């Protein structure tokens, strides 16, 4: 049970994340932030999160709550797994330090509270795009760059996506 409690303790609130981020800044630890639905955790997710973690000392992962997943237009059957289950599975990865569940359409509020050194998204996003109306725009890019953070994309693992896995039925 202790291991499960440890996993559960990684799931934190935005205010806890902000306090931890301040402590990490004082210790000069590099913070990395990413977000996603992580509905059916697969090799693509694990590879992506591992590579994101390798960019710094502490990895914060924001997971969309159930309502915000439905708001993304992924289909009426999504999410397959409820938010707490998705957060627990992500938190169980050893290289993930903190998990937050967010309900807003974007994680911008969390990003501005944590102020990560590195903001990461998959390569289906484009760090060179400055137009927030473009689907490939990275939310928080402008803000991160304003406080001296960097924005980076990580290549996707071909053939692995939740949508693709579900289509195989």
Residue 115, Ramachandran bin (φ over 0: left; ψ between -120 and 50: alpha; else beta): left
What is the percent of the chain with per-residue pLDDT over 70, rounded to a whole number?
A: 91
Residue 92 has pLDDT above 90, yes or no: yes
CATH number for the domain that contains residue 82: 3.40.50.620
**Residue 19 domain flag:** yes
Q: Which pTM does this prediction carry?
A: 0.91
| pLDDT mean over 79-95 | 95
**Residue 86 domain flag:** yes
**Residue 47 domain flag:** yes
Q: What b/e readout covers 100-124, taking b as 16+ CB neighbours within 10 angstroms?
A: bbbeeebbbebbebbbbbbbbbbee
Q: Which of 10, 13, 16, 30 is nearest to 118 (CA)?
A: 30
Residue 166 has pLDDT above 60, yes or no: no
Cα(145)–Cα(117) distance, integer angstroms: 9
- Per-residue confidence band for 77, with pLDDT thresholds at 50, 70 and 90: confident
**Residue 61 domain flag:** yes
Residue 83 has pLDDT above 80, yes or no: yes
Count of domains observed in the chain: 1
- With a CB cutoff of 8 Å and minimum separation 6, the contacts of 73 are none
Q: Which of 19, 16, 21, 11 is nearest to 144 (CA)?
A: 21
**Residue 169 domain flag:** no
| pLDDT mean over 139-158 | 93
Residue 138 has pLDDT above 60, yes or no: yes
Q: Which residues form the domain of 104?
A: 2-164
144 φ, ψ (degrees, to nearest 5): -60, -45
**Residue 53 domain flag:** yes
User: Is residue 60 within a helix (H) or strand (E), and if so which, with residue range?
Assistant: strand 58-64
């Amino acid at each position: 049970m202790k291991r499960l409690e440890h996993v559960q303790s990684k799931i934190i609130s935005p205010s806890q994340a902000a306090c931890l981020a301040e402590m990490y800044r004082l210790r000069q630890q590099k913070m990395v932030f990413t977000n996603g639905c992580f509905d059916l955790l697969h090799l693509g997710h694990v590879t992506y999160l591992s590579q994101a973690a390798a960019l710094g000392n502490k990895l914060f992962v924001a997971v969309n709550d159930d309502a915000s997943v439905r708001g993304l237009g992924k289909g009426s059957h999504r999410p397959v797994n409820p938010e707490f289950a998705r957060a627990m599975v992500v938190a169980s990865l050893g290289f993930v330090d903190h998990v937050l569940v967010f309900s807003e359409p974007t994680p911008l509020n969390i990003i501005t509270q944590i102020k990560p050194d590195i903001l990461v998204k998959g390569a289906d996003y484009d760090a060179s795009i400055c137009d927030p109306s473009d689907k490939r725009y990275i939310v928080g890019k402008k803000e991160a760059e304003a406080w001296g953070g960097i924005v980076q994309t990580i290549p996707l693992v071909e053939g692995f996506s939740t949508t693709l896995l579900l289509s195989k039925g």
